[in-house]
Structure 1
Amino acid sequence: MRIVILGLSITSSWGNGHATTFRGLVRELVRRGHDVLFLERDVPWYASNRDMPRPPWGRTELYADLADLRARFTDDVRDADLVIVGSYVPQGVEVGRWVQATARGIPAFYDIDTPVTLAKLSRGDFEYLSPDLIPGYRLYLSFTGGPTLRKIERELGSPAARPLYCSVDPELYEPRNCVAKWDLGYLGTYSADRQPTLERLMLEAAREWDAGRFVVAGPQYPEEVRWPANVRRVEHLPPPEHAGFYCAQLFTLNVTRADMVLAGYSPSVRLFEAAACGVPIISDVWNGLESVFVPGEEILLARTEKDTLGYLRDMTEADRRALGAKARARVLAEHTAAHRALAVEEYAREASRGAASGTPLDRVIVKR
């Protein structure tokens, strides 16, 4: 296929989780023989923080504004087999209207922020998507699966809402022979809605277990957060250092945004990254997690600090390693960027036929 993707960013992972998702997807689509053009709005905050200014897969072009986009890339959009507009694209509503009016192929929306998007729509905030655009996208690709997909179809009028979860690059995330520095670690930017869970599952555990070694990496935590003495803080951790960070932990903690907990079926990329490194994950609880990992066998669930401490202090080394290995096997079998590229192909074929596949939407997982 000839594919055009208009996304938030592929050149800069600064302050966003979109770039790594697009990098893996574009790379794998190109490996499978597709012609991919990625179009990114040239904005100052990414221009000064580009960690991949020239992605080596497909073609990446920057555009200055809507007029520049139309002037230079109308032919590409018109002639493409599949045109994907991502969430949080600047002036996304105007971009979407132009794509739907121009594309002869399949126009699609890729929502990397589905619970946030739906919350914004419900309060009339049409920053990058408006209700009238949804029926015009023949595919609505979503980071959230489960019942949310039915809502997008039945209440918002999408012809086909399909799960396209985040993924992991197994070439970058794999087990390493690292010295275990910490009993439990957490990687994530500060979020007010995540902080109570982080407090409950990690910081309270740290206060109860003085001998435990804990670490939190990520920016923007307010000064008033009271960090126990046995919790180390890392203000910023560049993506190339993530795998080594995971591998230096005996367990890693996953904490989910409140909107995603409510929606369910919203696995974060941190889940897949840590699992690909073979590091056992202790996670908060949300609907649909069991469709991604088997609780007790591939992931550990915690509701209180006592649950966390029970895993950290009581699990045998053999059981810990076995759980991490099973989680890694699951990710490699179902959740790599290569699987997502195959899913895009399948959904595009389905959309081109104009018929539903009949497969329950939250169970669509394409395997190699």
Structure 2
Amino acid sequence: MTSIAFYGSSILSAYWNGAATYYRGMLRALAAEGYAITFYEPDVLDRQNNRDIEPPSWCDVVVYDGTVEGLKAAAARAAEADIVVKASGVGFEDDLVLAEVMKAARPDALRIFWDVDAPATLAEMQTAPDHPLRRTLPDLDLVLTYGGGDPVVSAYRDLGARECVPIYNALDPDTHHPAPPQERFRGDLAFLGNRLPDRDARVEEFFLRPAKQTPEARFLLGGSGWDAYPLPRNVHLLGHVRTADHNALNCTPRMVLNVARDSMAKNGYSPATRVFEAAGAGACLITDAWEGIELFLEPGEEVLVARDGEDVAEILKTLPDDAPQQIGARARARVLAEHTYADRAKQADALFRAHAPRLEAAS
């Protein structure tokens, strides 16, 4: 059985960790394809005290000390794997993780950098010719990203990557699906997202501005970091929402909102995990406009696209009562047919085999 050593932020906790849903969906689906996976995550940022899943059956999880010694011990185990993956945004000594993991990898191992925030990573490398990842790119077999179209692929190749391929976010229908509504989540529009510097202005425009323009409507704001943020009176703060409650949050309000970060919107082709979570639950989703949305959901039929806060307010005021349910049902059908993690895992499996033909013989 082909083994994967995957070094990332956390698979056990979604606390300040937007990649958790992606990791879980992708690795669970890769396990179903026959891979033996070990996920290595550091004990940092209080994530282990905020776990929202138990260690899964489809993946071994190694939680290592948030120290240099703990990091090096975990990195040394990369020598055991056929495929070695270093993800972006581990959250502790990322450059050292990259160096130690790739140093430990066997000469015949497939070496991959998996970027879960390509715009941020590329911005760092483009302004730093001596960036550790930039120096390492020519020695890696493959760069995978969870978003970004041609601009991201071209940028990575220009910086020295042999090949860059997007493996987009998707739906795991076993974890994100329709669920009974919960009274605490009743409202007209819900937005779930941690507060991040490069998203504040867009949250102001697409969420808080329509809240001010429709004071009779009830808005719900979930995620960490919003406690001290000035909010209109009709915006109700939920705080951190556990992954187990995401389905109810998507199913209860009339509509849910996706707001991309500035860099993701600029690059386009970067649907957030929330897009597929909401669609999988059959929610009526409003998203801010970004290039490439039509590759995933059809605007006007399976998703509502807003150019600004005025559009969001107009949708809230004029959308017929029966339309949200119909839009949500069409979105769910589309993602189940074309955008599950099982689909993405087959794409990743084909890439692994293309770049390491010996894996075919070993399987």
| Fold in common (TM above 0.5) | yes
In structure 1, how many angstroms separate the alpha carbons of the residues matched to 2:252 and 2:19? 26
1:146 to 144, 149, 161: 149
Give 1:164-313 correspondences, 5 Å limit.
164-178=167-181, 181-221=186-226, 223-225=228-230, 227-313=231-317
Q: CA deviation at 1:265?
A: 1.1
For the 8 Å contact 2:153–2:165, the answer to whether it is kept is no
Q: Measured at CA, do residues 106 and 200 of structure 1 come closer, stay the same or move farther in structure 2, by a change above 3 Å?
A: same
1:93 pairs, out of 83, 92, 95, with 95
Distance apart, 1:228 and its partner CA: 2.2
Q: Tell me how far apart the structure 2 counterparts of residues 164 and 130 of structure 1 sit (CA, whole Å).
A: 20
Secondary structure in structure 2 of the residue aligned to 1:63? strand
Distance of 2:277 and 2:37 partners within structure 1: 25
Distance 1:266 1:288 in 2: 8
1:341 Cα offset (Å): 1.8
2:114 pairs with one of 110, 121, 130: 110
Q: Secondary structure at the match of 1:242?
A: helix
Alpha carbons of structure 1 residues 72 and 198: separation in structure 2 relative to 1, 3 Å: closer
Q: 1-side partners of 2:206 and 2:47: how far apart?
A: 34
Q: 1:44: Cα distance to partner?
A: 6.2
Aligned-pair distance for 1:330? 1.9
What SS does structure 1 have at the residue aligned with 2:283?
Answer: coil
- Quote how far apart the aligned CAs of 1:97 are: 3.2
How far apart, in 2, do the equivalents of 1:163 and 1:242 lie? 25
Aligned length: 351
Which residue of 281, 306, 315 corresponds with 2:319? 315
From the superposition, tell whether residues 318 and 134 of structure 1 become closer, same or farther in structure 2 (CA, over 3 Å): same
Residue 255 of structure 2 contacts residue 285 of structure 2 at CA under 8 Å; is this kept in 1?
Answer: yes
The CA deviation string for residues 13-49 of structure 1, in whole angstroms up to 9 with x for no partner, is 2211223322222222222222112222333623333
- Counterparts in 2 of 1:187 and 1:83: CA distance versus 1, 3 Å: same
The one-letter amino acid paired with 1:172 is T
> Whole-Å Cα distance in 1 between the matches of residues 157 and 250 of structure 2?
40
Residue aligning to 1:363: none
Asked if 2 retains the 8 angstrom alpha-carbon contact of 1:145 and 1:162, the reply is no
SS in 1 for 2:50: coil
Question: Partner residue of 1:347?
Answer: 351
Q: Secondary structure at the match of 1:130?
A: helix
Alpha-carbon spacing, 1:141–1:314, altered in 2? closer, same or farther (3 Å): same
Residue 137 (structure 1) aligned with residue 140 (structure 2): yes
Instruction: Note the C-alpha offset of 1:106.
Output: 0.7
- Residues 86 and 112, structure 2, Cα contact 8 Å, conserved in 1: yes
Tell me how far 1:222 sits from its aligned partner: 5.9
1:13 alignment partner in structure 2? 14
Helix, strand or coil: the match of 2:95? Answer: helix
Cα distance between partner residues in 2 of 1:126 and 1:271: 36
Unaligned runs of 5+ in 1: 355-368
C-alpha RMSD of matched pairs (Å): 2.5
Match of 1:27 in 2: 28
Is the Cα–Cα contact under 8 Å of residues 177 and 247 in structure 1 kept in the other structure? yes
* 1:143–1:164 contact (8 Å) kept in structure 2: yes
Separation in 2 of the partners of 1:298 and 1:254? 14
How far off is 1:112 after superposition?
0.6
How far has the Cα of 1:206 moved from its partner? 2.3
Contact 1:149 1:162 in 2 (8 A): no
What SS is found at the alignment partner of 1:249?
Answer: coil
TM-score of the pair, normalised by structure 2: 0.88
Alpha-carbon shift at residue 254 of structure 1 (Å): 0.9
**What CA deviation, in whole Å up to 9, does each residue of 1:56-76 have, x standing for no partner?**
2232223335555655764x5
User: SS of 2:47's equivalent?
Assistant: helix
